[in-house]
Chain A
Amino acid sequence: MRITVLVLVSVTISLAYALTDWLSPLKKRAIEIAEPFYRISDIPDSISGWLDDRFMSGESLAQENKALRTEVLVLKRELLLNASLAAENIRLRRLLNSANTLDDRVLIAELIGVSPDPSVHQVIVNRGSEDGVYKGQALLDAQGLMGQVVEVGKTSSKVLLITDIMHELPVQINRNGVRLIAAGMGDLYRLRLPHVANTMDVVVGDMLVSSGLGQRFPVGYPVAEVTQVTVDPAKRFATVTARPMAEMNRSRHVLLVFDRPPSS
């Protein structure tokens, strides 16, 4: 008797969760309940990171230092080039009377948990509303776009990765500006590009960047690289897949981008 009631209650809750947004105020609290669990399960990882930092031989430290210095030099050179390009870009944009693109502010965050269900591509980061994180904010790693914030708690938030089956984002080909949609397919290493006409100019190796059309993601961040284009004249659309630039299951240190004032 009791089991029937409990099953009915569970089904009601599940349907309310999946099909309505009645539970959304509770979802916010949920991430706060979940956070301590993820923090505890993250302890072994953070300890090994701490140990790596502490017990490093002087030699390897010096080596790393040297490598980092070279990298800084290389990056600085690119930055110098970038500065002149940015200035030129602003001048050209003024000529065209269009608005300047804003410089985005970023916040460094750390992954403290990943979704235990392998078909759900969600991660938990250690920043929340106290740090100004907002729903819909973009998450990057050093290589490219990773996902967007879907739930914000006080000191942690949940991020939906672009490879999740529920996620799609507007992109454009960096080479020619063709606009496309990149959809997740539940595979960490592949994105699907639906509705690509057979005649469209897309080739293997094309870089896809965020187009900013959905007003969700900031413009111009690398998203994926096209890995396969199959044109079958018998089919209406070409089959195109791309590999995400971001290292979905390896990056621990990530960036949250503020492309709008934190107050909103």
Chain B
Amino acid sequence: MYRLKNPVTVHLFIAFTLIFGLLLAIFPISTEYAYLRPEFVCVILVYWCINIPQHPGIFYAWCVGLLQDIVEGGVWGGHAMALAVIAYICMVSHQRMKSYSLWRQTFWLFVLVGMHQAVINWMQGLLGYRTAPMLTLASSATSALMWPVMYVVLGRIRKMYHVH
């Protein structure tokens, strides 16, 4: 068993999971289903912000978002702003969110990812791309449905490596 106590290793560990999320976010799937792709990076970031609020700071979230913008090729600053805002909300309210039941968290995640999608949509709108609002909600819904799975999987990993 490894114990990750050093803050640097914890940071690296979180970065590793986020990069894995980023890989899932760009994994090629058919355009017909692309609207249903969950926002992996956002969900993983929310998990860490709720559970280890002292580690991934707002600036950290912002940098991850900027990396996502660069990799995905959208308007730079879009994901950065969205993730920074989401991280801020989660960190301010992490104690309350932690006390929610899993299903209530799931609903709350739907709202959070919806906000994330709204910000991204505004930013993409600067280039003239338009997505129907209902379609963005589809991805928020799948992200929310992903939450219980993510909660269990990341919880396991966290216990395995004693990340606190």
Contacts and interface: CB of A to CB of B under 8 A. Distances in A.
Contact of A122 (B25, B27, B73): B73
Interface string A7-33: 101111111011100010000001101
Interface stretch (B75-83, B93-101, B106-114, B141-149): B75-83
Given A6-B58, A41-B23, A33 B71 contact: yes
Interface residues of B, number: 38
A129 B77 CA distance: 27
B70 to A, nearest CB: 5
B88 A3 contact: yes
Contact of A37 (B35, B71, B78, B126): B71
Interface of A is mostly: helix
B62 A10 contact: yes
Contact of A34 (B71, B84, B127): B71
B74 A117 contact: yes
Nearest to A158: B73
Most-contacted residue by chain B among A2, A11, A114, A118 (CB, 10 A): A118
B34 A3 contact: no
Interface stretch (B10-18, B128-136, B156-164): B128-136
* Chain B interface, >50% SS class: helix
Given A3-B58, A186-B129, A18 B31 contact: no
A7 B84 contact: yes
B151 interface: no
A100 interface: no
A180 interface: no
A122 B71 CA distance: 12
B127 to A, nearest CB: 5
B153 interface: no
B58 A38 contact: no
B25 A119 contact: no
A158 B67 CA distance: 17
Contacts of A40: 23
Contact of B31 (A17, A38, A166, A249): A249
Given A6-B62, A18-B75, A19-B126, A116 B37 contact: yes
B126 A15 contact: yes
B6 interface: no
A120 B81 contact: no
Given A7-B84, A30-B70, A41-B23, A14 B76 contact: yes
A93 to B, nearest CB: 41
Contacts of B25: 116
B115 to A, nearest CB: 13
B28 A114 contact: yes
B77 to A, nearest CB: 4
Interface in A100-140: 113-120, 122
A116 B72 contact: yes
A157 B162 CA distance: 41
A221 B31 CA distance: 25
Contacts of B127: 18, 166
A209 interface: no
A188 interface: yes
Interface of A: 2-3, 6-7, 9-15, 17-19, 23, 30-31, 33-34, 37-38, 40-42, 45, 113-120, 122, 158, 165-166, 186, 188, 249
Given A18-B123, A117-B72, 17 more contacts: A3-B84, A3-B85, A6-B59, A10-B62, A11-B81, A12-B77, A13-B76, A14-B77, A14-B123, A33-B71, A45-B28, A113-B28, A116-B25, A116-B72, A120-B73, A188-B31, A249-B31
30 contacts: A3-B84, A6-B80, A6-B81, A6-B84, A11-B81, A12-B77, A13-B77, A14-B77, A17-B77, A17-B126, A18-B123, A19-B126, A23-B76, A33-B67, A34-B73, A38-B71, A40-B23, A41-B23, A116-B25, A116-B26, A116-B72, A118-B31, A118-B131, A119-B130, A122-B73, A158-B73, A165-B128, A166-B128, A249-B30, A249-B31
